[in-house]
Amino acid sequence: MTTAVALPVLTAPRGRVLGRLKATGPAGLISATVIGLALIAAVFGPLLAPHDPNLPNLSLSFVGPTSGHLLGFDYVGRDVLSRLLVGAQSSLLGPLVVVAISITLGAVLAVTAAWRQGTFDTVVSAGLDILFAFPGILLAVLATAVFGPGLTAASLALSVAYMPYVARVLRGAALRERSQPYVAALEVQGASAPAICLRHLIPNLSPLIVAQATVTFGYAMVDLAAISFLGLGVQPPTANWGVMISENQTGIAQGYPLPALAASVCIVVVVVAINILGERLFEQA
Q: Residue 46, class by beta-carbon neighbours within 10 Å (0-12 exposed, 13-18 middle, 19+ buried)? A: middle
Cα 241 to Cα 221: distance, rounded to the nearest angstrom: 10
Average pLDDT over residues 47-63: 93
DSSP state of 149: S
Mean pLDDT of 100-127: 90
**Has residue 173 got a pLDDT over 70?**
yes
pLDDT of residue 17: 57
Contacts 24+ apart (CB under 8 A), 130-138: 131/160, 131/161, 131/163, 131/164, 132/164, 132/165, 134/161, 135/161, 136/161, 136/162, 136/219, 136/220, 136/223, 137/223, 137/226, 137/227
Angle between helix 206-229 and helix 80-116 axes, rounded to 10 deg: 130
Question: Is residue 72's pLDDT more than 70?
Answer: yes
Q: Using CA atoms, how far apart are residues 99 and 212, in angstroms rounded to an integer?
A: 9
Mean pLDDT of all residues in the chain? 87
- Stretch 145-151: mean pLDDT: 90
The yes-or-no verdict on residue 116 having pLDDT over 60 is yes
DSSP string, 45-107: HHHH-SS-TT---GGGTT---BTTBTT-B-TTS-BHHHHHHHHHHHHHHHHHHHHHHHHHHHH
Domain layout of the chain by residue ranges: 28-52+73-279
pLDDT per position as a tens digit, 179-222:
888 888 888 888 888 888 888 888 888 888 888 898 899 899 99
Percent of the chain past pLDDT 70, that is, above it, reads 91
Q: CATH homologous superfamily of domain 28-52+73-279?
A: MetI-like (1.10.3720.10)
Distance from C-alpha of 285 to C-alpha of 62, rounded to nearest angstrom:
47
CA–CA gap between residue 124 and residue 138 (Å, rounded): 23
pLDDT digits (tens, 9 = 90+) for 218-233: 899 999 999 999 999 9
Task: Report yes or no: 223 and 136 within 8 Å, Cβ to Cβ.
Answer: yes
pLDDT of residue 18: 64
- What pTM, to 2 d.p., does this model score? 0.85
**Predicted pLDDT of residue 130:** 87
Looking at residue 1, its pLDDT comes to 42
Cis-peptide into 259, omega within 30 deg: no
- Dihedral sign for Cα 241, 244, 246, 249, please: negative
Lowest mean pLDDT among 61-65, 106-110, 210-214, 237-241: 210-214
